[in-house]
């Protein structure tokens, strides 16, 4: 997903139930929804890069859901979060918040607490998606696993998840890239049984899933298209999307 801030170096890289999500960066950018996923609810994700979003226009173009970036690490909050998160709901979209993880900056529990305090909450109203953890390649340095061992990364994610569950009652959706997950967690299957998968892969199919997951809940298939921000699909019907949101 897009970062809200400029990297500390000149580099700027890119890389979310009950599980219905998966995607690994790679492949050719698409101009249209993949034929294999046609008919599924269409959505997107946004950050401060999209600024004040025209939500009625997004809905008119077919958006049914959106994930809004709330926080990054334990110090940054998206300054457009309010307009994006509440504006989406006012326009009739199912929406949720996501956190961009920087595991080398502070422990998982610390970042989860900051996230929930600053927009990463959840309520069983059918319009609020569970909080999401965006964990992927390090955009700010050469250590793509943030200097953590595979075991330490798994522990970090568990710490984040446990705190989100304690504070909201839901496990976070996990947004990741198959290749990063394989390299940085050792392709851990520790989260597949109780975390929805939001997989990022730019191509005509979602491709391989991280170990343990049998299907994707959300699939980010492109980083640009008819909707503001990244383009996503939900693996089910609109009624199932709302049921998933309710928990």
Q: Where does residue 124 rank: exposed (0-12), middle (13-18), buried (19+ CB within 10 A)? A: exposed
Q: Are 67 and 134 in contact (CB under 8 A)?
A: no
Which residues are within 8 A (CB) of 111 and not within 5 positions of it... i.e. 6 or more apart? Answer: 71, 73, 74, 99, 101, 102, 105, 160
Q: How far apart are the C-alpha atoms of 175 and 65, rounded to whole Å?
A: 16
Q: How far apart are the C-alpha atoms of 41 and 37, rounded to whole Å?
A: 9
Give, in order, the Cα–Cα distances in Å from 164 to each of 4, 109, 160, 228: 22, 8, 6, 27
Q: What are the residue numbers of the active site?
A: 45, 134, 136
Q: Tell me the DSSP string of 7-76.
A: -SSS--------S-----S-S---SS--GGGTTSPEEEEE-GGG-S--HHHHHHTTEEEEEEEEEETTTE
Hey, how many other C-beta atoms are within 10 angstroms of the C-beta on 228?
Answer: 22
Q: How far apart are the C-alpha atoms of 119 and 106, rounded to whole Å?
A: 19
Tokens of 8: 């500390």
């Amino acid at each position: 997903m897009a970062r809200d801030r400029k990297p500390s170096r000149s580099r700027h890289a890119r890389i979310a139930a009950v599980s219905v999500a998966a995607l690994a960066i790679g492949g050719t950018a698409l101009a249209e929804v993949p034929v294999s996923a046609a008919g599924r609810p269409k959505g997107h994700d946004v950050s401060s890069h999209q600024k004040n979003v025209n939500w009625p226009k997004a809905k008119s173009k077919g958006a049914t859901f959106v994930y809004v970036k709330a926080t990054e690490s334990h110090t940054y909050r998206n300054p457009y979060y309010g307009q994006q998160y509440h504006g989406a709901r006012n326009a009739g979209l199912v929406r949720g918040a996501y956190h961009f993880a920087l595991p080398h900056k502070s422990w998982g529990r610390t970042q989860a607490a900051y996230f929930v305090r600053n927009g990463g909450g959840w309520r069983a109203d059918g319009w609020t998606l569970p909080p999401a953890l965006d964990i992927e390649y390090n955009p700010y340095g050469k250590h793509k696993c943030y200097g953590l061992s595979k075991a330490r990364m798994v522990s970090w994610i568990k710490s984040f998840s446990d705190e989100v569950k304690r504070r909201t009652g839901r496990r976070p959706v996990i947004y990741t890239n198959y290749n990063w997950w394989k390299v940085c967690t050792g392709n851990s299957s520790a989260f597949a049984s109780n975390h929805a998968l939001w997989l990022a892969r730019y191509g005509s199919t979602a491709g391989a899933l991280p170990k343990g997951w049998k299907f994707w809940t959300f699939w980010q298939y492109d980083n640009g298209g008819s909707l503001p921000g990244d383009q996503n699909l939900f693996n089910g019907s609109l009624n199932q999307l709302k049921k998933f949101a309710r928990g």
